[in-house]
Amino acid sequence: MTDTPAPRKRLLIRTWGCQMNVYDSARMADVLAPLGYAPTEQVEEADMVILNTCHIREKATEKVFSDLGRLREAKQARGGEMVIAVAGCVAQAEGAEITARAPWVDLVLGPQSYHRLPEMVARAARAAGTVIETEFPTEDKFDHLPETTAPQGATAFLTIQEGCDKFCSFCVVPYTRGSEYSRPVAAIVAEAERLVALGAREITLLGQNVNAWHGEGPDGGAWTLGRLARRLAEIEGLLRIRYTTSHPRDMDDDLIAAHGDTPALMPFLHLPVQSGSDRVLRMMNRGHTAADYLRLVERLRAARPDLALSTDIIAGHPGETDADHAATLALIREVGFAQAFSFKYSARPGTPASTMAGQVEEAVKDARLAEVQALLRDQQTAFNRSRAGLVAEVLVTGPGRHPGQMAGRTPWLNPVHFEGPAELAGQVVPVRILAGHPNSLTGTLAAPHRAQPRERPAA
């Protein structure tokens, strides 16, 4: 008689928010894999459900509680045999309030504590009640995480920096992620090498203020992000490097130079400005002016002429006037963005802006946001259309929506679709862009096909 293997447990992780949350969710799955948890997309069969939350967007907390209400029913249908966890920034901000309103939640853990998940699961199994971990631990959570072993697609995320010391008036990140922390060079390089060995050809370096990274190098001194990019570019098989999200105050000379001298560093940069009004920027505590931002853009484009820029814009920050709004529109027109994320201001409890005088009426915020978004949509469409006629090196990420179609990304992060064989997945191939659309490009495989080992900067 042979032993029957024990049935595996099923894990469902729902992720909201930034790319760092996507990375964190993947690492939580890695942490739980030794306990026998395998992924599922079906809540009905899940033995554990983790809501990895984001506190940036409006009504984030209420959306979490709405989802928790549905999970309560699923847990009851399984006779209570389901572990429910709330992770991420809402967990960090709300803490015990979550268990007060949703006592069926078993685990509440902040973004600095997910390396403790196995211990927390064991504690929850031993005791009635909820286990809460929302302190900022003194140990480095990355030292306690297992190595990534899951197969990768062509693209992967790698967190190199966490936390924020900037304290922008509207932002909860310093309160939910803690102060700035930079991982050491050796740990980053080792993880990047593992990701490449598992199939990644493009790595996006992540951080709340990623260009504030100043990790310890092999010589004991602090490296710059530009120096790290050059080191990562030496990894065989790593064709592309990106990073997000940046702060204008941390864009130093070496990083700007790296955009010109490191071909693997892609010509796309997300650089949030938030407002074009100096008065609003001061109220936001951004630490830069509109002119500072424009000079920075000029220097970046001098270093890499084909650089495409993305940004964040907030409409209706407390105290914003019609003149301030007009200044934001003027800055957008002057820069010309390839992509952008724009939102109307919404108050976050505990942030300085939430109690500022001059809160803008919702109807005014809505109207201003509509103007901002219309202008940004026009710029994105214009940028996409400007790609038509180019032969772009496209990293093929997988099949497209239609039979025989493949999908990928240009150096400027545009999604592009073209007809081609499935074996192109994971390769960089030349694609002639036929047309640009509001959100994507269409093209045709340029002949003869030959994958390029590195992206080349513009002449």
What pLDDT, on the 0 to 100 scale, is given for residue 133?
Answer: 61
Would you say 171 is a known binding-site residue? yes
- Please tell me the distance from the alpha carbon of residue 158 to that of residue 23, in angstroms, as a whole number: 7
- Please tell me the distance from the alpha carbon of residue 353 to that of residue 342, in angstroms, as a whole number: 18
Would you say 176 is a known binding-site residue? no
What pLDDT, on the 0 to 100 scale, is given for residue 3?
Answer: 47
**Structural domain range at position 363:** 141-386
Identify the band that residue 454 occupies on the pLDDT scale cut at 50, 70 and 90. very low
What pLDDT, on the 0 to 100 scale, is given for residue 7?
Answer: 52
Q: Which of 78-82, 280-284, 313-317 has the lowest mean pLDDT?
A: 78-82
What pLDDT, on the 0 to 100 scale, is given for residue 293?
Answer: 98
Q: Which of 21, 141, 137 is nearest to 87 (CA)?
A: 21
pLDDT at residue 306 above 90? yes
CATH number of the domain where residue 433 is located: 2.40.50
Residues 326-335 have a mean pLDDT of 98
Would you say 399 is a known binding-site residue? no
Please identify, among 368, 386, 404, the residue that sits at the C-terminal boundary of a domain. 386
- Please tell me the distance from the alpha carbon of residue 428 to that of residue 238, in angstroms, as a whole number: 11
pLDDT at residue 296 above 50? yes
Whether residues 158 and 116 fall in one domain: no
Would you say 89 is a known binding-site residue? yes
- Please tell me the distance from the alpha carbon of residue 233 to that of residue 241, in angstroms, as a whole number: 7
Residue 455 domain flag? no
Whether residues 292 and 177 fall in one domain: yes
pLDDT at residue 219 above 60? yes
- Give the DSSP letter string of 106-175: -EEE-TT-GGGHHHHHHHHHHSSS-EEE-S--SS-GGGGSPPP-S---SEEEEE-EE--S---TT--HHH
Identify the band that residue 139 occupies on the pLDDT scale cut at 50, 70 and 90. very low
Q: C-alpha angle with apex 158: 393 to 50, nearest 5 degrees? A: 120
Residue 459 domain flag? no
Average pLDDT, the chain: 87
Q: C-alpha angle with apex 173: 41 to 21, nearest 5 degrees? A: 20
Full 3-state SS string of 232-255: HCCCCCCCEEEEECCCHHHCCHHH
| pLDDT tens string 105-121 | 888 887 777 777 777 77
**Element (H or E) spanning 323, and its range?**
helix 322-335
What pLDDT, on the 0 to 100 scale, is given for residue 148?
Answer: 61
Residue 456 domain flag? no
Residue 262 domain flag? yes
Residue 202 domain flag? yes
Please check whether residue 212 is in contact with residue 220, taking contact to mean a CB–CB distance below 8 angstroms: no
Residue 295 domain flag? yes
Output 38-42 pairs: Cβ under 8 A, ≥24 positions apart. 38/8, 38/9, 38/10, 38/11, 39/10, 39/11, 39/12, 39/13, 40/10, 40/11, 40/12, 41/12, 42/10, 42/12
Residues 98-103 have a mean pLDDT of 85
Would you say 164 is a known binding-site residue? yes
- Please tell me the distance from the alpha carbon of residue 47 to that of residue 83, in angstroms, as a whole number: 6
Would you say 168 is a known binding-site residue? yes
Among 33-37, 397-401, 437-441, 453-457, name the most confident range: 437-441
Please check whether residue 157 is in contact with residue 19, taking contact to mean a CB–CB distance below 8 angstroms: yes
